[in-house]
Amino acid sequence: MESCLLIAGEKSGEEHALSFFPELVKLCPDVQFFGVGGDDLKVHGFELLYHLRDFSSMGFTEVIGKIPFYWRALNRLEAEVKRRGTRTAILVDFQDFNMRLAEKLRRRGVNVLYYVAPQAWGWKPQRSEALARNAHTLFTILPFEKEWFRERGVKQVRGIPHPLMKTFRDELSCIPERPWSSLKPKLKLLLLPGSRSFEVEGLLPEFIRAVKILRQAFTVEVHLVTVPHLNPALYRSCAQEIDVWYEADQISVAMRECHMALAASGTVTLSTGLFELPTVVCYKAGLLNEFIFYNFIKYRGPISLTNIIHHRVVFPEFLQGSVDPHLLARVLSAWTTDQNLYNQIKATLRTTKNLLGGENFSVPDYMAQVIHERTSP
* Helix, strand, coil content of the chain in percent (nearest 5): 50, 15, 35
Residue 364's Cα: distance from chain center in Å? 20
Q: How many C-alpha atoms does 51 have within 13 Å on its Cβ side?
A: 7
From the number of C-beta atoms within 10 Å of its C-beta (0-12, 13-18, 19+), residue 164 rates as buried
pLDDT along the chain (377 residues), means of 10: 94 88 97 96 96 69 71 96 97 91 96 89 75 96 89 92 86 92 94 91 96 97 93 92 95 97 94 97 69 48 86 93 96 97 97 88 96 71
- CA–CA gap between residue 354 and residue 338 (Å, rounded): 27
pLDDT of residue 53: 83
The confidence score (pLDDT) of residue 296 equals 42
pLDDT of residue 25: 98
* Sign of the Cα pseudo-torsion (336, 337, 339, 340, in order): negative
> Given this model, what pLDDT does residue 122 score?
59
Would you state the pLDDT for residue 289?
A: 52
Distances (CA, A) of 239 to 52, 56, 70, 244: 27, 27, 35, 10
Q: Say if residues 8 and 36 touch (Cβ distance below 8 Å).
A: yes
- Please state the separation of Cα 276 from the chain's center in Å: 18
- What pLDDT, on a 0 to 100 scale, did the predictor assign at position 288? 45
Helix axes 95-107, 127-134, angle to 10 degrees: 40
Please, what are the domains in the chain? 2-161+357-375 (3.40.50.2000), 171-355 (3.40.50.2000)
C-alpha gyration radius of the chain = 21
The amino acid at residue 170 is: D
Q: What is the distance between the alpha carbons of residues 142 and 158, in angstroms, rounded to a whole number?
A: 11
Alpha carbons 269 and 306: distance in angstroms, whole number: 6
If residue 187 lies in a helix (H) or strand (E), which one and from where to where? strand 187-192
Dist CA 117 CA 139 (whole Å):
6
pLDDT in the model for residue 49: 97
